[in-house]
Each structure stands twice: as structure tokens, then as C-alpha cells.
Amino acid sequence: MLITFLRTIFLYIIVLIVMRLMGKREIGQLQPFELAISIMIADLASTPMADPGIPIINGIIPILALLVMHLIISMINIKSIKARAILCGQPTILIYRGRIDEKMLKKERFTVNELEERLRGNNIFNVGDVEYAILETSGQITVIEKPEKRVVTLEDLKIKGDYEGIPYDLVVDGKVMYENLKKLDKDYNWLKKQVAKFGIEPNEALLVTIDGNGKFFCQEKSLK
């Protein structure tokens, strides 16, 4: 039993490393060849886990082979547009200039109800508000609303917005993010003074952040 436990942990670490090397895509954004490789890796890893009689190397070698295949296909995908079209397919326009393209729906085996469901996932509750709906190769749907339905931006109103920058985590679960302090050219003493304004110490904070305008967010840990 101990051997099975250790084999499982080792294979999990191998699979985790391989998946990290494959990139940061979410499952819903995987291309078909990436999804196929991910499923095969899971299957190959589970066999030696369940059967101690199978040498663990029999699971590791095929997993590494699939990683090599993934890297090769990814490089081909980057270099060749034709190969990209074959491996990943091409985006399909399901709604064109406000009209649902029934031929494309049938081609992609999409029902009208599924299309409406996907639109609701994009916060679009009326098909009549859509100018274009594009089915991406990852299976996600990109929606472009009709001009009169789009959210008004500051640019539309000819108003110049203030620079916001990006927020930085300064404390996470009581641990000081010294690397972020360094990026801001600040030190622990400065952080301590800022957090003291909220009546706590840095190690007592659940989260402390600062945005591009110097605005702080600070929340104390409820469990000490």
C-alpha cells in the first residue's frame, strides 16, 4: 500500500510538471490536439497508479513522449498557418450582421438554444443585440454587439481617463510580498506604517493591496 501511495505521488508530480510545461491555457481554451494529449496523459498516469505490477517507467516514458509531441505540434502550429488551420480549425461566424447563419449552425452542430445559452454566458440576453457571434477554435464564443447596444466608453465621450496602472499584493495571508515592495521601491517599514493606519500589523492582514493611484485595500484576518 505504501508503494502504491508513493507511486501515485510521484506520477502526480510528473503529470503536474508536464502540464505546466504545456502552458497556461484553461481547459475551455484548449485546442483539439491539446485536449487529446491531456486526456491521454491522464489515462497513461492512472494505469501504473492502479496496478503496482506495472513498472512506473511504463507510464513516465509515454507521458514524456506526449510532451515532446505537444511541443513539436505547437512549434508547427506557430510556424505554419496551413498547419494551424488543419490542427486547430478556423473560427466560424454564427451570427453575421445581426442574422443567425443556419448553415454554420448545422455545420458546427449547434442548436439555437445552445447559441442562446452561450450568449447568456457573455451577458447577452437578447439575440437581437448581437451584430456578430464568432465560434472560436477553442469552443468559446466571441460576441460583438450592435453599435447602439455597446457600453459607452470615456473615449466615446471624449473624456481623458486617469492612469490606473496595476494593483500589487503587498501582504497575502499575513506574508509580506517583498518582491512587490521592491518593484515599488518601498521597504517593510513603509508597509508597516501604511498598514498601521488600519490598526493592524502586516502579519495580521489577510490581504493588503495598492493600486496605480496609491489607493490601499486592507482586510484583517478573522482567524488568528
Q: Give yes or no for residue 162 having a pLDDT over 80.
A: no
Beta bridge partners of 95: 100, 133
In 3D space, the residue among 142, 137, 141, 140 whose CA is nearest the CA of residue 31 turns out to be 137
- Angle (nearest 5°) at CA 181 between 179 and 185: 115
* Count of the separate structural domains present in the chain: 3
Mean of the pLDDT values across residues 176-182? 94
Range in 26-35, 135-144, 187-196, 201-210 the model is least confident about: 26-35
44 and 111 together in one domain? no
Alpha carbons 59 and 43: distance in angstroms, whole number? 9
Query: Does 68 reside within a domain?
Result: yes
Phi, psi of 145 (to 5 degrees): -80, 160
Tell whether 161 is covered by a domain.
no
- The verdict on residue 118 lying in a domain is yes
Instruction: At 146, give phi and psi (nearest 5°).
Output: -65, 150
Name the residue with higher pLDDT: 207 or 81.
207
> Band of the pLDDT at 23, cuts 50, 70, 90?
low
Residue 70 lies in a domain: yes
Q: Is residue 142 a part of any domain in this protein?
A: yes
Q: For position 165, what pLDDT does the model report?
A: 75
174: left (phi over 0), alpha (psi -120 to 50) or beta: left
Nearest to 39 by CA among 5, 17, 20, 63: 63
Question: Which residues constitute the domain of residue 199?
Answer: 168-220
Domain match, 112 and 52 both: no
Q: What is the pLDDT of residues 102-158, one digit of tens each?
A: 999 999 988 899 999 999 999 999 999 999 999 988 788 999 999 888 887 777 778
Check whether residue 78 and residue 14 sit in a common domain.
Answer: yes
Q: Is residue 160 part of a domain?
A: no
Over residues 65-85, the pLDDT tens digits come to 888 888 888 888 888 888 887
Instruction: Establish if 104 belongs to a structural domain.
Output: yes
In the structure grid, which three cell numbers stand for residue 158, read together? 471624449
**Same structural domain, 215 and 188:** yes
Q: Are residues 52 and 98 in the same domain?
A: no
> Residue 27: is its pLDDT beyond 70?
no
The answer to whether residue 157 is domain-embedded is no
CATH of the domain at 115: 3.30.240.20
